[in-house]
């Protein structure tokens, strides 16, 4: 009788293990399909003007002035004001990254440690990472592993059919010592699903 019970117990354990393996395989397939579908997701990004920032060294400004710049009344290249909206047309919530990629310029390059950045929402409230007393520079941003020239500005998530508007202000820090050389710094703003 004991021999018969052992076979019954082994058979029951085998069935349970088989069901667990099948369940795990089904979950893995669903995750792979979902991951594949998410790779085809795109975000809509609209810039009020364009996505390229070009700054020169003619007039360094303080953080107070740079943070409060309204977008008008200053010669181009002194302070840059970029307003853009990210929208999620996908059926699910997505995580995204806003990153900056340095571009070559015809001018001698300014050091990235002098390029100050201030990111706010559409109501001009600073977003996470920009609400500290010290305003980050381009140099302070984290490098992206898969994009060596890219620097992470901000990351967040958007629900399906959701949108967010951002304002990025950029300027040359007032710690920069003016020189006779004309120097510049240029980068573009990109958004991707992560």
pLDDT at 11: 79
Alpha carbon distance 61, 68 (integer Å)? 11
Stretch 175-182: mean pLDDT: 88
Stretch 39-58: mean pLDDT: 90
pLDDT at 9: 77
Residue 42's alpha-carbon distances to 31, 95, 136, 189, in angstroms, are: 19, 11, 29, 16
* CB atoms inside a 10 Å sphere around CB 107: 17
C-beta of residue 139 within 8 angstroms of C-beta of residue 117: no
Work out the pLDDT band at 31, boundaries 50, 70, 90: low
Torsion of CA 36, 85, 74, 70, to 10 degrees: -140
Structure-token match 């992470």, residue found? 152
Comparing CA positions, the residue from 164, 142, 143, 46 lying closest to residue 95 is 164
Residue 2 has pLDDT above 60, yes or no: no
Stretch 117-145: mean pLDDT: 91
For the chain, the average pLDDT equals 88
Comparing CA positions, the residue from 169, 168, 158, 161 lying closest to residue 192 is 158
Helix boundaries (H) for 40-74: 63-68
Alpha carbon distance 81, 104 (integer Å)? 20
Tell me the Cα Rg of the chain.
25
Stretch 111-136: mean pLDDT: 92
C-beta of residue 146 within 8 angstroms of C-beta of residue 103: no
pLDDT at 35: 55
Work out the pLDDT band at 23, boundaries 50, 70, 90: confident
Work out the pLDDT band at 107, boundaries 50, 70, 90: confident
Work out the pLDDT band at 123, boundaries 50, 70, 90: very high
pLDDT at 62: 94
Work out the pLDDT band at 54, boundaries 50, 70, 90: very high
pLDDT at 4: 60
pLDDT at 25: 80
CB within 8 Å of 113: residues ≥ 6 apart: 137, 138, 139, 140
Cα within 13 Å of Cα(86), Cβ side:
26
């Amino acid at each position: 009788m004991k021999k018969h019970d052992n076979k019954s117990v082994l058979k029951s354990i085998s069935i349970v293990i088989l069901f667990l393996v099948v369940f795990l395989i089904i979950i893995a397939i669903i995750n792979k399909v979902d991951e594949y579908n998410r790779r085809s997701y795109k975000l809509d990004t609209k810039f009020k003007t364009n996505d390229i920032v070009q700054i020169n060294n003619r007039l360094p400004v303080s953080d107070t002035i740079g943070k409060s710049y309204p977008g008008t009344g200053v010669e181009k290249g002194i302070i840059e004001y970029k307003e853009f909206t990210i929208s999620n047309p996908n059926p699910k919530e997505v995580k995204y990254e806003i990153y900056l990629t340095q571009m070559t310029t015809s001018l001698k390059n300014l050091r990235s440690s002098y390029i100050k950045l201030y990111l706010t929402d559409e109501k001009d409230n600073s977003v996470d990472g920009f609400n500290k007393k010290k305003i980050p520079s381009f140099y302070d941003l984290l490098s992206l592993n898969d994009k060596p020239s890219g620097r992470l500005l901000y990351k967040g998530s958007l629900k399906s059919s959701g949108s967010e508007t951002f304002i990025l202000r950029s300027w040359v820090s007032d710690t920069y010592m003016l020189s006779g050389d004309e120097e510049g710094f240029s980068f573009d703003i990109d958004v991707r699903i992560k």
